Structure 1
Amino acid sequence: MALSLSRRLVVCALLAGGSLSAFSSMVRAEELAEAGKLTVAFTGDMPGSGWQDGKLIGYDGEIMQRIADKLGLKVQPALMEWSGTIASVQSGRVDVMLGTMGWTQKRTEIMSLSQPIHYFKNGIMQSTKTSWDKLSDLEGRKVGTITGFSFVPELKKINGLQLSLYDTADAAVRDLIAGRIDAVIGDPPVVSYAIKQNPQWNMHFLAFTDSNPNYPLLTGLGQVVYGFNKKNDDLRKQVDAIINDMWKTCEMKSIGERYGLSDDVWYTPAGENFRAGVDRPADYKLPSCKTSG
């Protein structure tokens, strides 16, 4: 049975035209991987990203598509495994990468990171026969995650945890369904979307209830960002301006609701503002959009 989060359904082709905007004159052709085009590295894992009818889809993808349109650029899709996205940005082969990537201080050292497009809390994909929601529940378990995820070093610190690394979410979930591993720690939107699309799996996702300062990436509230080459920070600033406008109008949430990201937790920052004074000014405030209640 094919997994619904397979990126193999994504077809690489060129975007057919982007609308012009006031931003288009700001983008210098020599700063782009290919003149007139925004070359985007993405994984094809829904609901984060995909390619359909000549456009980026998914939560991350649809926002980036709108940004490209406003910049007057055509999207040049570059479908690849997660492990290759960051390296492609660093080398300059692509202009931007996306794939529900969480902000970390370490990543600020190798890329220029955008404003957040939504927030998230990590958790455990598991059988409906179990209800694990704490780090201690993973002790002695066989756990799968994706190569290159920021919280891998934290998973390795959990007592007795047997970690398996995968290149794709597809492979990790297949092993979970087959019983070769006990749980998967993946992108919350990706695994939640996959579970919703495949009730026959008898899986569910439970967010960590811990708030452990020794495991900040696993148990803290994260933020999803786009990654740019540090030499192309002007492009990142233009993208940030558009993202900020989308937060002000709550467009982020209207897009997210189409992909199952409807709760306020996805759009309301909580806890420490760890970017202030790191890759943003000391007085930096995280954007938010709360429309319910």
Structure 2
Amino acid sequence: MTLSLSRRLVVCALLAGGSFSLFSSTAQAFDLAEQGKLTVAFTGDMPGSGWQDGKLIGYDGEIMQKVAEKLGLQVQPALMEWSGTIASVEASRVDVMLGTMGWTEKRTQIMSLSEPIHYFKNGIMQSSKTNWDKLSDLEGKKVGTITGFSFVPELKKISGLELSLYDTSDAAVRDLIAGRIDAVIGDPPVVSYAIKQNPDWNMHFLAFTDTSPDFPLLTGLGQVVYGFNKKNDDLRQKVDGIIAEMWKTCEMKAIGERYGLSADVWYTPAGENFRAGVDRAADYKLPSCAAGG
């Protein structure tokens, strides 16, 4: 499978001690896990993140690589399962985590979260023989998702849904292809990328058409962010400044197009802004890249 192969390539690159780029020694003295380096926890699930030729790749990864270079820091890669990324940030073993992580109010209580790098709508990965796009379509179905995903409690509220939790996206997809489960609710960019790379799976992804206040994480506007240790909020603010500039120039979209994220939906916030008054000011506006930018 493509996803597991991409992770194996990442591991091989790390074990091979791929060359690192050396950046300016004028980096600000942040409180880092290792001085002079930005230690980044990532999952290796494309199109979000990967490691190639001594650099982070993927949509999340390429943006973070550019951020590190602008900060004058050398990227120190820390490949791990999704379930370990947030805990590693909390324990200060890494400086930042990425992996198409969605913003949630609960996560603001344990981490300092960056500005969004793109937006998304959750949905259902399923056989091309079905066209499920509502929460009610999942009633009585066997559904897989990833341990630690924010919307797991909401999935458990769906009537008759039999939920299976997996450590990795590729494990969940394997069971879907084998018919052991009926659907996968995963990171939209990850599953969309996997489907595009593997047409023989005969799978497709449909975003939820529901907009339910009882299921805000499943049906609301998703914001992909980076997570920092709260004691490193100064680092997060510096990163946010760089991200803001990338939005202004539409560099976000230029990077996204390299990984199949070309539609305006990824770069235009459409839905309620849950962050205003939570971890941002009450008058906070979400960034966007205008169509055609």
The answer for the alignment partner of 2:2 in structure 1 is 3
The answer for the alignment partner of 1:240 in structure 2 is 240
Q: Is the 8 A contact 1:15 1:54 kept in 2?
A: yes
Structure 1 residue runs of 4 or more that deviate by more than 4 Å after TM superposition: none
Counterpart mapping for 1:17-166 below 5 A: 17-20=21-24, 25=26, 27-29=28-30, 31-166=31-166
Q: What amino acid maps onto 1:50 in structure 2? A: G
> By how many angstroms is 1:266 displaced?
0.3
Q: More displaced, 278-287 or 145-154?
A: 278-287
Q: More displaced, 242-251 or 268-277?
A: 268-277
Q: Is the 8 A contact 2:21 2:54 kept in 1?
A: no
Give secondary structure in 2 for the equivalent of 1:136: helix
Q: Report the TM-score, using the length of structure 2 for normalisation.
A: 0.96
Give secondary structure in 1 for the equivalent of 2:231: helix
Give secondary structure in 2 for the equivalent of 1:130: coil
1:16 pairs with 2:1 = no
Query: How has the CA–CA distance of structure 1 residues 170 and 264 changed in structure 2, closer, same or farther, with 3 Å as cutoff?
Result: same
Find the aligned partners of 2:119 and 2:18 in 1 and give their Cα distance. 30
Q: What amino acid maps onto 1:230 in structure 2? A: K
The answer for the alignment partner of 1:222 in structure 2 is 222
Find the aligned partners of 1:136 and 1:18 in 2 and give their Cα distance. 52
Find the aligned partners of 1:277 and 1:286 in 2 and give their Cα distance. 13
> By how many angstroms is 1:14 displaced?
5.9
> By how many angstroms is 1:27 displaced?
2.3
Find the aligned partners of 2:75 and 2:8 in 1 and give their Cα distance. 19
Find the aligned partners of 2:274 and 2:28 in 1 and give their Cα distance. 30
Q: Give identity over the alignment, percent.
A: 81
Deviation track 1:109-157 (CA, whole Å, cap 9, x = no partner) reads: 0000000000000000000010000000000000000000000000000
Find the aligned partners of 1:236 and 1:242 in 2 and give their Cα distance. 10
Find the aligned partners of 1:72 and 1:50 in 2 and give their Cα distance. 21
Give secondary structure in 2 for the equivalent of 1:280: coil
> By how many angstroms is 1:292 displaced?
2.8
Find the aligned partners of 1:292 and 1:73 in 2 and give their Cα distance. 33
Q: What amino acid maps onto 1:152 in structure 2? A: V
Q: More displaced, 273-282 or 134-143?
A: 273-282
Q: What amino acid maps onto 1:190 in structure 2? A: V
The answer for the alignment partner of 2:268 in structure 1 is 268
Query: How has the CA–CA distance of structure 1 residues 75 and 19 changed in structure 2, closer, same or farther, with 3 Å as cutoff?
Result: same
Q: Is the 8 A contact 2:112 2:233 kept in 1?
A: yes
The answer for the alignment partner of 1:279 in structure 2 is 279
RMSD of aligned Cα (Å): 1.3
> By how many angstroms is 1:291 displaced?
2.6
Find the aligned partners of 1:179 and 1:152 in 2 and give their Cα distance. 21
Q: Is the 8 A contact 1:5 1:46 kept in 2?
A: no
The answer for the alignment partner of 1:212 in structure 2 is 212
Query: How has the CA–CA distance of structure 1 residues 15 and 71 changed in structure 2, closer, same or farther, with 3 Å as cutoff?
Result: farther
> By how many angstroms is 1:18 displaced?
4.3
Give secondary structure in 2 for the equivalent of 1:16: coil
Find the aligned partners of 1:284 and 1:72 in 2 and give their Cα distance. 29
Counterpart mapping for 1:161-172 below 5 A: 161-172=161-172
Q: What amino acid maps onto 2:28 in structure 1? A: V
Q: Is the 8 A contact 1:143 1:185 kept in 2?
A: yes
Deviation track 1:211-266 (CA, whole Å, cap 9, x = no partner) reads: 11100000111000000000010000000000000000000000000000000110
Q: Is the 8 A contact 2:256 2:262 kept in 1?
A: yes
Q: Report the TM-score, using the length of structure 1 for normalisation.
A: 0.96
